[in-house]
Amino acid sequence: MAKLALLGGEPLVKERLGKPWPIWGEEEEKALREVLHSGLWWRGGYADWKESKVGQFEDAFAAYQHARWGIAVTNGTQALECALKAAGVEPGDEVIVPALTFVATATSVALVGAIPRIVDVDPQTYNISPAAIEAAINEHTRALIPVHNGGYPCDLEAINALAQKHGLMVIEDCAHAHGSEWKGRRVGAIGHFGAFSFQQGKTMTCGEGGIVLTNDDELAEKAYSFMHIGRLSGRPFYEFHRVASNLRMTEWQAAVLPCQLQRLDEQVETRERNITYLAEHLWQMEGLQPLPRDREVVTRWSFYYWNFKFLAEAWEGVSRDTFLEALRAEGVPCGVGGHGRPIYRNPLFQQMNFGRTGFPLKCPCCNRWRIDYREVYCPEAERIYRTEACSFPHAMFLGPQSDMDRLLAALQKVWENRDELRRYQDEGETGAITEITVEGR
């Protein structure tokens, strides 16, 4: 039996799995040079905005995601803010968000003055639980933000049905899910809005960027206005209708994104091929399990990170964190379930750090908090975070199938050495959960 790299042996994976990220080529260089020489570096430089690179990308990406309208913005956090404002979310309203996500899903809600209500996730998919949503709805609830965690589409049928029943807006957080499909429809406009991120690590990137999608003409107009300092399309340039920020994407960003979109289908297919192969083998391995996937429902799974489960019982005392430490030492990038801890565990929430007045979380009349995040506890999210969830980054799956064989060999090596690992762990070499992200940051 080969000695674990963690215990001084040779790492099994000596060369990178997959490809370095981001991927770019002559197409991006050419498009960026075009912008430079045009002297038109913002979308407003064109008489018809739709002729700008931003305008053209909005149409192309909306069509790709099966949506009618796209409103490009500066980043994914502001895509959420723009959608929330256009959805009519205002101070004092409540918006339901999942515990397992990136913090921006909740902070975007607070940034528009509303109250994020954080609820538990489904143990099978790690996505927001429709039952938990239903239990959290009250007279203040105005919207829901289901996050397609890791790119795995949420149960949008159940979520839309709840929204309809209670008169709520649905904003899909699609930061991880460019190209993912739910029953043959791409995510992003299955709810009222979809918000995407094009930040550096995402499966399509221009460093920073975002877009809001919708099928609704009126909502699209509002989102456009909130992106553009409160202007209305077709009205004079110096006429303003809303309190709104400048969220405009630049031509530089929009030069890069179509080139990225061109490559996306092939990348999604390569990733799908590799994870299908990996999942088939994981099902045969003791101790590790992929998330269950119903191919009739999740018809396309474009993922930002690929979550899988560590089955603690089978490992007879070896913890998930010791397993990840050993796997990393073998040369495999891996992390603790995407973004790590349930979001309410951040100092922001634990210290109730909402400014001098605390408004609107603190009622100005009775000075009492409307919600105390120190009391929020989501048992499934806690268990998943502490003991079960493991993730691989997306770029790891852009290589040949032989990469999956190397990955499986590393997993097998760690499994076979579990007695050694248990001894290592019992000697007290490991500490608290290492919150390494899947990108290794």
**List of residues contacting ligand PLP (CB under 6 A):** 75-77, 101-102, 104-105, 147, 173, 175-176, 197, 199, 210
In the complex, residue closest to ligand PLP by CB: 76
Question: Any idea what the Cα angle at residue 294 is, between residues 123 and 270, rounded to 5°?
Answer: 105
Nearer to ligand PLP, 75 or 180 (CB): 75
Minimum Å distance from CB 104 to ligand PLP? 4
Tokens of 239: 């006429």
> Cβ closer to ligand PLP: 13 or 121?
121
The whole-angstrom separation of Cα 163 and Cα 130 is 10
Nearer to ligand PLP, 305 or 424 (CB): 305
For residue 3, what are the contacts with CB-CB under 8 A and spacing of at least 6? 9, 10, 417
Residue 305 Cβ vs ligand PLP, minimum distance, rounded to whole Å: 10
* Minimum separation from the CB atom of position 78 to ligand PLP (A): 7
Q: Both tokens of residue 350? A: 């634990």
| Residues 415/41, Cβ–Cβ less than 8 Å | no
Q: CB of residue 395 vs ligand PLP: minimum separation in angstroms? A: 15
Q: How far is the CB of 72 from ligand PLP (least distance, A)?
A: 12
CB-nearer residue toward ligand PLP: 18 or 76: 76
Instruction: Kindly state the smallest distance separating residue 208's Cβ from ligand PLP, in Å.
Output: 6
**Spatial distance between the Cα atoms of 336 and 385, rounded to a whole number of angstroms:** 7
Toward ligand PLP, which CB reaches closer, 173 or 325? 173
Min CB(147)–ligand PLP separation in Å: 5
Please identify, using beta-carbon distances, which residue of 125 and 417 lies nearer to ligand PLP.
125
Token output for 413: 């090596």
Taking CA 296 as the corner, what is the angle to CA 293 and CA 298, rounded to the nearest 5 degrees? 50
Q: Is 317 left (phi over 0), alpha (psi -120 to 50) or beta?
A: left
d(CA 343, CA 322): 23
| Strand, coil or helix: 437 | coil
Among 109, 404, 99, 370, which residue's Cα sits nearest to residue 272?
404
Residues 102, 104, 106, 107, CA torsion sign: positive
How many CB atoms sit inside 10 A of residue 295's CB? 9
In the complex with ligand PLP, the residue whose CB is nearer, 21 or 369, is 21
Give all strands (DSSP E) within 169-230, no chain letters.
169-173, 181-182, 185-186, 193-197, 210-214
Of 62 and 211, which CB lies nearer to ligand PLP in the complex structure?
A: 211
Q: Supply the minimum distance, in Å, between the C-beta of residue 126 and ligand PLP.
A: 12
The residue (of 264 and 408) whose beta carbon lies closer to ligand PLP is 264
Q: How far is the CB of 173 from ligand PLP (least distance, A)?
A: 5
Residue 252 φ/ψ region, left for φ over 0, alpha for ψ in the -120 to 50 degree band, beta for the rest: alpha
